[in-house]
Amino acid sequence: MTDIGFIGLGIMGHGMATNLVKAGFSVTVWNRTQSKADDIIEAGAIRGQTPADVAREADIVMICVSDTPDVEAVVFGPDGVIEGVRPDSLIIDHSTISPQATQRFASIAADHGTHWIDAPISGGSEGAVNGTLTIMIGGDEEQIQRSRAYLDAIGTTITHVGPLGSGQLVKAVNQILVVVTQLAVSEALLLAEAGGLDLDSTLRAVEGGAAGSWMLSNRGPQMIDRDWRPGFTIDLQQKDLRIVLEAADELGVPLPGTAIVFQMFRALQQQGLGGDGNHALVKALERMSGIEVGSRDG
């Protein structure tokens, strides 16, 4: 059996690593804050002292950290993965990072005899805990086949979307759709509120037609109830949008809607709301206007 490494035990990685241990694999884990590994070690994982240490123990190193510089640090920084890699090993990057940086990182890894696939995830912390993540993978089919059993332990919808970097690009496409559709729902509910409409029946009147979306039907009712608990936080969403906008900039793609949402999230972070769910986007419009969605029902 292949030895597995897992680096990054945050809101997503913790559940993923736990599921790999539960599935019976030999997993060496590392996290910057070591205490976050404690319960996974108790469940049977091995503690790595550094990312390099993890790489020495594993043929496949899975990474799930926050951002492009974090991936760079744990792979190429001091005591990084690359210092310990075994020959013909594989790095699976589950982080959401720059598609272009992915190409550069994979190229340097290849110089050290190590393969790379990008495999960003969606499905939220609940999906990570339940092992029901959606995984969008870019890279060589041979390496994907090699990692299939481990991916099956953490996700249910696993799609090979194209060559290296394609997973990150599809994730970017996904995030554009998520946030601009959130903008649509936010503007719509704010006008409904200001016009004195009953928000629940308005939502029901329009969700079945051309106006309909997952966001309207799932986050709309939560917004009407002013329930801002996160499926995905503004802080993480805003970080993802920075990557999307940088990737779009390099590709020459204008994204006016996405850019507006990025600025709105930035403003909400400055107001201390970075821990709210990303559907709290509407609060940016509320604070501009003094109108509050759902406040009459509260």
Minimum CB distance to its own copies, residue 279 (Å): 10
Active site residue 22: no
Task: Report the length, in residues, of the chain.
Answer: 298
Q: How far apart, in whole angstroms, are the C-alpha atoms of residue 140 and residue 116?
A: 9
Residue of 22, 36, 171, 239 marked active site: 171
Asked if 248 is part of the footprint of its own copies (rule: CB under 8 A), the reply reads yes
Please pick, from the candidates 49, 251, 271, 295, the single residue that binds its own copies as defined by CB under 8 A: 251
Q: Which residue lies nearer to its own copies by CB, 74 or 185? A: 185
Q: Which is nearer to its own copies, 43 or 211 (CB)?
A: 211
Tell me the per-residue interface mask from 176 to 195 with its own copies, x by CB under 8 A, - otherwise: xxxxxx-xxx-xxxxxx-xx
CB of 209 to its own copies, least distance (A): 6
The first and second tokens of residue 12, run together, are: 């997503």
* Binding residue count for its own copies, defined by CB under 8 A: 69
Q: Computed over its alpha carbons, how large is the radius of gyration of the chain?
A: 21
Tokens 């990057």: give the residue: 93
Determine the Cα–Cα distance for residues 55 and 156; give it in Å rounded to an integer: 26
Q: Is 289 a residue that touches its own copies (CB under 8 A)?
A: yes
**CA dihedral defined by 127, 131, 135, 141, rounded to 10 degrees?**
180
Q: Interface with its own copies by CB under 8 A: which range of 34-42, 88-96, 112-120, 175-183?
A: 175-183
Is 237 a binding residue for its own copies by CB under 8 A? The answer is no
Q: Which residue has the tokens 């900039």?
A: 249
Phi, psi of 292 (to 5 degrees): -120, 120
Q: Are 75 and 81 in contact (CB under 8 A)?
A: yes
User: Quick check: 43 binds its own copies (CB under 8 A)?
Assistant: no
Question: Which residues are within 8 A (CB) of 258 and not within 5 positions of it... i.e. 6 or more apart?
Answer: 176, 179, 180, 241, 244, 245, 248
What minimum distance in Å lies between the beta carbon of 238 and its own copies? 16
Residue type, 255: L
Q: Which stretch binds its own copies (CB under 8 A): 29-37, 60-68, 146-154, 162-170?
A: 162-170
Instruction: Pick the closer one to its own copies by CB: 23 or 248.
Output: 248
Q: Which two tokens stand for residue 151?
A: 């991916």
H or E element: which one contains 218? helix 214-224
Interface contacts to its own copies, rule CB under 8 A:
99, 122-123, 134, 136, 157, 159, 161-162, 165-166, 169-170, 172-181, 183-185, 187-192, 194-198, 201-202, 205-206, 208-216, 218, 231, 244, 247-248, 251-258, 260, 285, 288-291
Catalytic amino acids? 171
